[in-house]
Amino acid sequence: MDLTTYIRDIPDFPKPGILFKDITPLLGDPPAFACAIEAMAEAVAELTVTKLLGIESRGFIFGGALALRTGLGFVPVRKPGKLPFTTIRETYALEYGQDSLEIHHDAVKRGERVAVVDDLLATGGTALAAIRLAEKLGAEVAGVVCLVELDFLHGREKLEGYRVRSLIHF
């Protein structure tokens, strides 16, 4: 199945000059969504992990479905102030400013192998922040699995040394 046909371009979203890759048609089509989850599950299986870290917010969709499909634990990685228990934080640079992600301080154990899951790999900053959170807790990050990768933004370069698997490349 050609999953690219389920991703539409939205020009000038969220701001002028950005061509947004909208995955909602894929999510709304059960066979396409199932195909994406199956392919991502194969990528996860190659990593031999016990938990998946899903990045807010669309990483929750794929991470949750993958955790259920693979029998692995799911860990939410969220924007600051959204998790109810004690957290650790990682701040990362954006094109104009900075942002942060948090994880519960007991979400993964020292030595545990985990994978980061998200819908899209762009510049790599968000994925790298999630990796750093897991590593601060002593986990070994086996890789990153994404539905879409925007190759022209070179996010993979920021993740050098980590296995990165993306199903769709633009």
123/104 Cα distance (integer angstroms) = 25
Q: How far is CA 11 from CA 48, 67, 124, in A?
A: 38, 33, 21
Q: Give the C-alpha separation, 27 to 61, whole Å.
A: 9
Residue 11, φ and ψ in degrees, nearest 5: -70, 145
| DSSP SS3 for 106 | coil
Catalytic residue positions? Answer: 58, 95
For residues 168 and 7, the answer to whether their CB atoms sit within 8 Å is yes
